[in-house]
Amino acid sequence: MVSVIMGLKGSGKTKHLIELVNIAVDKDPGQVVLIEKGQKLTYDIKHGARLVDSSACGLHGNDMLRGFVAGLHAGNYDISHIFIDSLFKVSGSDSIPEAEALLTWFDEFGRLNNVNFTVTISADAADATEKIRKHF
């Protein structure tokens, strides 16, 4: 399953994401991972979540992000939820068609491997395409 939190900068997406991460740490039976660019959420999330700084891993592009997510799962089959704060920053692409393809891949990967994804996108939700909107 993929959930998208979409809104303009300053609309509270990250704050909502932090709440969801902390709830998942308390209630999900598996491991929780948060991928972000930088380490600004280090003190906001509970220590039970694994925080990954995408810039420290050299992620550039959606193909690398797919491989990174697959590698995370291959290294730990207990991951039940992956959160991504600011998809455009983490992936390095603000292309809507590429974001749609990535969300479709997350959905397929998640169903096959029993992993949930929650992703924030910094853009006006009113401009979301149908392929993105179905994940709201």
How far apart are alpha carbons 56 and 24 in whole angstroms? 24
* pLDDT tops 90 at residue 58: no
Q: What is the 8-class DSSP label of residue 125?
A: G
Name the average pLDDT for the chain: 96
Q: How confident is the model at residue 60 (pLDDT cuts 50, 70, 90)?
A: confident
| pLDDT tens, position by position, 68-86 | 999 999 999 999 999 999 9
- Tell me the domains of the chain and their CATH numbers: 2-133 (3.40.50.300)
pTM of the prediction? 0.95
Q: Provide the pLDDT for residue 75.
A: 97
How far apart are alpha carbons 37 and 122 in whole angstroms? 14
Q: Provide the pLDDT for residue 85.
A: 97
* pLDDT tops 90 at residue 65: yes
How far is the CA of 30 from the CAs of 19, 43, 66, 67, 116, in angstroms?
Answer: 17, 21, 20, 21, 11
